[in-house]
């Protein structure tokens, strides 16, 4: 007996640089559960003098193990605005500069629905 297996990998975006006046950030695969072993980073960079507001539409990660972090600057060395996991997160987050850096990490097991974020430039 000959068995043949077909494996299909689904490529999903995991990070990027955003510069539009408004946009959407989704966890990879959203609305399906995200994968394990993720390490994603998004940088939002808007015109100088502007700020960035994040509206959380949905948020669900594995509590205490998978996290979404917000930094008020160009990278992970900037001031941390917050680190969130589980289902508790502020509905609105605001930067104090024209750059916002987000990272998402998932561990080796258990995933959840992930997140849907909307951002807007604030002048």
Query: Would you say 73 and 99 are in contact if contact means Cβ atoms under 8 Å apart?
Result: yes
Rg for the chain, CA atoms, rounded = 16
For the entire predicted model, the pTM comes to 0.88
Query: Would you say 27 and 13 are in contact if contact means Cβ atoms under 8 Å apart?
Result: no
- Helical (H) or strand (E) element with 45: strand 39-45
3-state secondary structure of 4: coil
Position 7 scores a pLDDT of 34
Tell me: pLDDT of 80 over 80.
Answer: yes
Tell me: pLDDT of 118 over 90.
Answer: yes
Region 29-40: mean pLDDT is 97
Distances 86 to 58, 68, 106, 110, 111 between C-alpha atoms, Å: 11, 10, 12, 12, 10
Position 1 scores a pLDDT of 54
- Domains along the chain with CATH numbers: 15-122 (2.60.120.290)
pLDDT tens digits for 14-27?
999 999 999 999 99
Query: Would you say 12 and 39 are in contact if contact means Cβ atoms under 8 Å apart?
Result: no
Region 88-92: mean pLDDT is 91
Confidence tier at 10 by pLDDT (50, 70, 90): very low
DSSP-derived secondary structure letter, 31: T
What is the C-alpha separation between 106 and 63, in angstroms, rounded? Answer: 11
Tell me: pLDDT of 122 over 50.
Answer: yes
């Amino acid at each position: 007996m000959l068995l043949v297996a077909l494996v299909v990998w689904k490529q999903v975006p995991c990070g990027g640089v955003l510069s539009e006046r408004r946009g959407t950030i989704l966890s990879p695969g959203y609305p399906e559960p995200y994968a394990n072993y993720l390490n994603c980073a998004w940088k939002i960079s808007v015109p100088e003098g502007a700020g960035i507001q994040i509206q959380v539409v949905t948020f669900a990660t594995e509590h205490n193990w998978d996290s979404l972090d917000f930094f008020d600057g160009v990278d992970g060395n900037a001031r941390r605005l917050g680190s969130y996991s589980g289902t508790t997160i502020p509905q609105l987050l605001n930067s104090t500069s024209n750059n916002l850096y987000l990272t998402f990490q998932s561990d080796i097991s258990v995933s959840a629905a992930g997140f849907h974020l909307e951002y807007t430039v604030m002048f």
